[in-house]
Amino acid sequence: MKGISVAIVIAFIFINGSNAFSQQAPSLTDTPSSSQNATSDAIEDVVVTAERRETKLQTTPGSIAVIDQTRLQDAQINTLRDAKGLIPNVNIPGTFLTNSTQSYWFRGIGENDPYQDPAVGYYVDDVVSPRLIGSLGDLADAERVEVLVGPQGTLYGRNTNGGAVKVITKTPGDKAEVFGDIGGGDWGQFESHGYAGGAIVPGKAYASLSFSHAQNDGFSYNEVLRKDVMNKDVTSLRGKFRLTPSDDLDIRLSIDGGRDNSPSFFRTPVNRVGGYDPGLIDSERNPQGKLELGGTSLNITKDLNDAVTLKSITAARGFTESPIITDSDGLPSIINESSDKLFEKFYSQEFQAAANYDALNLVGGLFLYHEFYSTDRTVFASNVLEAGRLTTDSGALFGQGTYKITDQLSGIFGLRLTDEKRQNRYRVDTITATGTPTATRFNSSAAHTWYSLAPKAGVDYQWTPSVFQYATVTKGFKSGGYDRAVTTVLAATTAFAPEKVVTYETGVKTSWLDRRATANLALFYNDYKDLQLSIWNAAVNTYVRSNAEKAHSQGAELSTTLLLAKGLEWLNSAGFLIGKYDEAVGALGAGTNAKGNRLMNAPHWTLDSGLDYTLPLAIPGKLKTRADIKYQTSSFSNVANTPQVSIPSYAIVDLGISYTTEDNHWTLSGTAKNIFDQRPLQIGNYSPPGIWVATPYPPTTVFFKLAYHL
């Protein structure tokens, strides 16, 4: 009934929207059709590939945010974690694991277990990262980042029910491009990035190479070991080779690799003796971790004619993490500590066909996927080795189309069919203190196949060239699977079900004041079924990963851009969110129900306001300043909504300044982040017996960088 009511409200808003917009919108002649026609004081058109074809952001249905190259550089966004708070109702918290591991939460839905499937997909050049591990790459060669909120199954190979993060990296072409930077700051910060790309044979062959390195000494001090811990040490490389043997054929080969020598993130005890201090931990262990990851992809695009394009995306990727030491209690005793050795590899093949006609646009595809995922977890306190081997084979047919019913009204339709099989082999051994197995407690094997039919339908309407509105209903699906940290045969062989969502959304995108202002608004309602959580299982007398019956989230998102004057840009965003568990039996223990509790990582309000100002000084070159404030209200980091690890309301202020020489070759910049040193916890958890632990927000940091661009 809730979904039907929301659909009626959305339809009412859509049908009656013309009255308001016909009174407030600029006339047909107020807005240039493209940035080429705009004055120098107008906001340029932003082109996105969210629909697997190039479209303008302001006429693309859906809640989409774009972080372009200029903003990445000006705001010192080196990874997506630096973009936390910039996008309404998008939460990018810290992690309990490593610097290259990241969870993404859209509208209150995400995944807090880095070993499970993400609810939000992370794509680099249309190749998915199937795990949270490795889902935080450096953005040194990024052209832009697109953040797509809501289910994306009808357009993307690997289905995700929360949304997708798309990193689009630079493609080498005829024009040579070279840039590099080097910088440092407090806390032992040092970073260096570089890129070189251009033509080998003009018009036919091109190549590029990029690299990045980032390190710091860590933001925590271990009072037991008496040293700084949890430092950062990440290096990555990417090479691209491109062939265009004819005007209608484009072949792109990409090879990348990286190494994260950062140790694991240990928890900070909240109820430690002496009180909580976000900069202190008390673990007796030296954190360890070494992640090596990489892969290759081959992207072939063939234009059959002016209307039809075929594409093939072949990818192979993987990572090795060995070993990662996790201290889940952060105290100087062996209570809840483990060592994990991880190995993952996957292969994917995607075929696409796109047809663009005057009245009809179609994108369809076939996606094939195979993954092998190995986890060896040693639990020190109980001297057991939990070894899991998970194999996934998945196939999907997907497609989406837009049909122009009239010059202003279009219909949207899409469908995804998924067939996914998983086999889980799981063994638990008793081991000695040195790790030698002495006995096998059990050795199990189980398999399950899931099928999904996920449709999408909607309409959009171009009221004027300045006002675009849409309404959609989309079903999303996140695959089922098996728990990776269990100690009984029943728990190891019991599969949890897929997570499902139906999303109702309507939005309006507008331009104002001769394109000197934009304002985009979205309203949404998410109806979730079988939300994947840790649920008490009476049969095994412990928590296992299972499914909460029902949950929902609803809210609104507003993003605005305003050119106040030449060189002065004001960007704002606001997100309002209400998310609750409607039925979650056993989520808090035997005989309990989390019904009525708020969703994790779902603050009611997320606000951001930033000013970019190029000062009108009579000097060679340009001096640019930036100020940004991010605010969010309180939220919870666990299903139980425990006060000990609740996230308080907080505001973060960042400042930046840069000078670029008159020839645009050299830039000297400085950035101060979190200038008031706010250190609220980002993630919290319970570590038996009676210990609450957290990962705090990074402290105040200052960073200076010198960059060169040819």
Distances (CA, A) of 707 to 178, 342, 619, 627, 634: 11, 37, 20, 21, 38
Per-residue model confidence (pLDDT) at position 96: 66
Band of residue 478 on the pLDDT scale cut at 50, 70, 90: very high
- Nearest CA to 694 out of 632, 647, 633 is that of 647
Residue 473 Cα to chain centre, angstroms: 22
Return d(Cα 115, Cα 133) in angstroms, integer. Answer: 8
Residues 59-81 have pLDDT tens digits of 999 999 999 988 898 888 999 99
Residues 588-633 have pLDDT tens digits of 878 889 999 999 999 999 999 999 999 988 889 999 999 999 999 9
**CB contact set of 277 (below 8 Å; sequence gap of 6+):** 268
**CB contact set of 312 (below 8 Å; sequence gap of 6+):** 298, 299, 300, 349, 350, 351, 352
Considering only CA atoms, give the Rg of the chain.
Answer: 25
Amino acid at the residue 416: R
Please, what is the average pLDDT of the chain? 88
- For residue 143 the two structure tokens come to 């052209």
DSSP 289-324: --EEEEEEEEEEEEESSSSEEEEEEEEEEEEEEEEE
Residues 669-678 have pLDDT tens digits of 999 999 999 9
pTM of the model: 0.90
Residue 283 Cα to chain centre, angstroms: 30
Per-residue model confidence (pLDDT) at position 682: 83
Per-residue model confidence (pLDDT) at position 689: 65
Range of the domain at 535: 2-709
Residues 498-515 have pLDDT tens digits of 999 999 999 999 999 999
Q: Which residue has the higher pLDDT, 335 or 284?
A: 284
| CATH number of the domain that residue 685 is part of | 2.40.170.20
Per-residue model confidence (pLDDT) at position 329: 66
Q: Which residue has the higher pLDDT, 24 or 80?
A: 80
Q: Answer for the pair 2, 552: CB distance below 8 angstroms, yes or no.
A: yes
Per-residue model confidence (pLDDT) at position 29: 30
Residues 277-291 have pLDDT tens digits of 888 887 777 777 789
Residues 127-183 have pLDDT tens digits of 999 998 888 989 989 999 999 999 988 888 787 889 999 999 999 999 999 999 999
Residues 112-141 have pLDDT tens digits of 887 889 999 999 999 999 998 888 989 989
Place of tokens 């100087």: 332
Per-residue model confidence (pLDDT) at position 200: 97
Per-residue model confidence (pLDDT) at position 690: 67
Cβ-based neighbour number of residue 688 at 10 Å: 9
Return d(Cα 673, Cα 82) in angstroms, integer. Answer: 10
Per-residue model confidence (pLDDT) at position 323: 81
Asked whether the predicted pLDDT for residue 16 surpasses 50, the reply is no
Band of residue 418 on the pLDDT scale cut at 50, 70, 90: very high
DSSP 259-298: EE-PPPPPPEETT-TT---TTEE--SSPP---EEEEEEEE
- Range 357-361 average pLDDT: 94
Per-residue model confidence (pLDDT) at position 563: 95
Per-residue model confidence (pLDDT) at position 378: 87
Return d(Cα 8, Cα 554) in angstroms, integer. Answer: 15
Share of the chain above pLDDT 90, in %: 66
Q: Which DSSP symbol is given to 43?
A: P
Residues 542-578 have pLDDT tens digits of 678 889 999 999 999 999 999 999 999 999 999 999 9
Q: Answer for the pair 706, 190: CB distance below 8 angstroms, yes or no.
A: no
Report the run of H or E that residue 130 belongs to, with start and end.
none
Amino acid at the residue 541: N
Distances (CA, A) of 572 to 511, 536, 539, 610: 15, 42, 51, 6
Per-residue model confidence (pLDDT) at position 114: 77
- Least confident window among 28-42, 639-653, 673-687: 28-42
- For residue 703 the two structure tokens come to 């960073």
Domain total of the chain: 1
Share of the chain above pLDDT 70, in %: 91
Per-residue model confidence (pLDDT) at position 42: 86
Return d(Cα 497, Cα 477) in angstroms, integer. Answer: 10
**CB contact set of 517 (below 8 Å; sequence gap of 6+):** 43, 511, 560, 561, 562, 563
Return d(Cα 132, Cα 145) in angstroms, integer. Answer: 18
Residue 31 Cα to chain centre, angstroms: 33
CA contacts within 13 A on the Cβ side of 397: 3
Asked whether the predicted pLDDT for residue 18 surpasses 70, the reply is no
- Nearest CA to 608 out of 580, 627, 583 is that of 627
Place of tokens 């609803």: 554
Per-residue model confidence (pLDDT) at position 6: 42
Per-residue model confidence (pLDDT) at position 14: 41
Residues 229-260 have pLDDT tens digits of 888 999 999 999 999 999 999 999 999 999 99
Band of residue 434 on the pLDDT scale cut at 50, 70, 90: confident
Return d(Cα 566, Cα 516) in angstroms, integer. Answer: 10
Q: Quick check: bond before 437 cis, omega within 30?
A: no
Asked whether the predicted pLDDT for residue 9 surpasses 60, the reply is no
